Amino acid sequence: MTYEVFLGHIIDNGITAARADYIRNQEKLRGAVAGFEACRDKKPSELAELLEASRKNTETARRSGALYWQTRCFEAEVEWVCNCISVVLHAMQVPIILHPTLRATTEVAQLIQNMNRHETVEGLAEPVGAPPSPEGEVGAEDGKKQSEHGEHQYDPAGRLGEHRAHDDEANTE
């Protein structure tokens, strides 16, 4: 899987969730979708720059009151994408954009489980997840017995209820 494909999945999943979350608030929906789309095709360094700029824009909107929620939701979704990308960067032990949250870590784990968990994210050039151990052996990293397919026999990540860590503020009318 390429970095662009991985990023695209994070963005597409986020847009789907935003459409459900903001079905009755078009201002927030416009901001959220625009925030996700602004992240498309961006490398991690570009995402970091976009996050910094969107934070400044939100502060300006907060002071002026003009389109605050649209601007805030834009920023929140850029932050969400940076959060998810930072999970992978952290796993690769390279500099992160921001400290990943548990929610983002869980979302990324779920995404990887739903895809081929042993693929690499090309463009980041490191494996996403641990390489498979020989069949039935106990992995040195976590001590869990693996199935005949090299997958752990437990679910390391629970299902997410929502896709963002900023639920309280972004859902306030």
Q: Which tens digit of pLDDT belongs to each residue from 61-104?
A: 999 988 999 999 999 999 999 999 999 999 999 999 999 999 99
DSSP, res 127: E
Query: What type of residue is 97?
Result: I
The ranges assigned to domains in the chain are 3-170
Residue 41, number of CB atoms within 10 A of its CB:
12
**pTM of the full structure:** 0.68
Two tokens at 31? 């901001």
Is the confidence at residue 16, as pLDDT, over 50? yes
DSSP, res 146: B
Task: Find out whether 86 and 104 touch, Cβ atoms under 8 Å.
Answer: yes
Beta partners for 19? none
For the stretch 135-146, pLDDT in tens is 433 333 444 333
Q: Which positions ≥6 away from 114 have C-beta within 8 Å?
A: none
